[in-house]
Structures are given as C-alpha cells and as structure tokens.
Amino acid sequence: MLTIDRLGKTFQGKSAVADVSLDIEHGTFVGVIGRSGAGKSTLLRCINRLVDPSEGRILFDGLDITALRGRALRDWRSSCGMIFQQFNLAGRLDVLTNVLMGRINSMPTLPALIKLWPDGEKLNALRALDRFDLGDFAAQRAESLSGGQQQRVAIARTLVQNPRIILADEPVASLDPRNTQAVMDALQDLNRSSGLTVLCNLHSLELARSYCDRLVGMKHGRVVFDGKPATLTDAAVIDLYGLEANDVLDVSSLAAQQAAMPEDVIQNAA
C-alpha cells in the first residue's frame, strides 16, 4: 500500500500541496483531477521524490520514502515509474535504445554509456514494445514517430524498469483523441494484466470516469474529493473546478483551456 500522511509542499512560502492524506491499495487505477495549479503534479513529484516534501511522510509497504537518500533513493525512483506529458525521449536515438534507458539504473555505468546492452535486456525491451504494438518501430529514430507512439515508447521504457507503481503526469494532454485512447488503453492494460498501481493526473473528467477505479479531486493543494467515479456528483464537480451553478458544465473543455494558459495567468485567475 502507498500511504501519504499529512503531506505538504511549499514553494517560496506558497503552499502547493497542503495536508494531503491518502491510502492507495495495490493494483488500483487512481485518477487525480482538478484545475491547473491545484497541486496534482506536485503531489506526484513528491511521491517519486523529484521534489522533497516540506512536511509529512510517504510510505510504500512500510518503507519511508521521504527518508531515502543516495542509492536507496535511486532504487525507489527506478521502481516508481514516471510518465510525463513531454515523453522525454532522445529523438535522435532509435526506439529500442530509448526503451533500454529504463534499465540504466540496473546496468554498470560504462557498458550503459557505450550501449553494450546484454541480449537479454534487448529481448525484454522488444517484448515491451511488442506489447504496445511498436515492435516494428524498434530501429526507427524516436523523433520519427507520432506523439501517441512516442508516449507508448515512454510507457514501454517505464515497463522495463520493473516498476512497482506508475505515476503518469498528464500523459495525454498533448495528444489527439485516437492517440489518447491508445495511451490510456496501454496504462489500463498495465494496471489490469500486470496488477500495477497507477496514479494518473488527468484534465479530462470523461477519461477519468472511464478508466479509473477511484478519483481524487484536488483544489488549492488539498484533497476535496475521494471516491469512486460514480459518486462524483455534478455539485462536487462544480465545487472542484470552481464553476458557478448556472455555468455550462463542460469540464474537459475548461481543463483543456486551462492547460494551454500560462501558469501566472492561472494563478492570477485563482
């Protein structure tokens, strides 16, 4: 179980996450929803320790993640797969090498730097690509693929890390509807067939309701909703997204507009 206990994070005196407490069971698909600037990304980055919490604790199966340092912290980040909106692939490298980069923490430094990957590692990477229908693209440069294909390469890279949990930070925000479905299907497959816990930040409420077992709604850095998608009422959505009762309830469109706005504009509007 992942346990988040009274987690807080401040930046220059401003609270990004405040007093968040959650218990997330193994094998669940949890969607984190809310307006831009609500603290969703900061929460995920605290979990994998890309940023250090200002207060509180994060435990995974009893291990205090917030206390990890050095090699133990690197091992946690390896077992805590992170998928970003920007893909973070090396465009000039071939797809197979990009996937193999997910194993770099498990390889001696010199062989990894000169790309002397063992055959077993290459085979595992090819299997990961085949799982997402990308095996035929292994020798192509990553930059030649579509956005949806690149995101699935990023998911395959995460898979070869042998993660115990997957954190996805707006993984489909820049994709068209067809590629959005392909990427969300890939995450759902990892959750259902491999039993991996998935925490996924999503702007689209429709996607969150379709794919997630549980929704966590955040507002001003705090959790204001936690429950099954079916229990998220229109009133709760209005409160979560700061809408007036007589506004048109088109949250997916609203969130997409907010995602395209500069952060300082969002903060001023809030």
pLDDT score at 108 = 57
Dmax over Cα atoms in the chain, in whole Å? 62
Considering only CA atoms, which of 231, 100, 91 is closest in space to residue 150? Answer: 91
pLDDT score at 246 = 45
Return mean pLDDT, the chain: 85
pLDDT score at 267 = 40
Chain-centre distance of CA 84, in angstroms? 6
Q: Tens of pLDDT along 120-142?
A: 889 999 999 998 889 999 999 99
Please give the structure tokens belonging to residue 28. 């669940």
Which CATH code for domain 2-87+165-269? 3.40.50.300
Whether the per-residue pLDDT at 102 is higher than 80: the answer is yes
Q: In the chain, what are the domain boundaries? A: 2-87+165-269
Cβ proximity of 238 and 245 under 8 Å: yes
Tokens 């994998």 map to which residue? 48
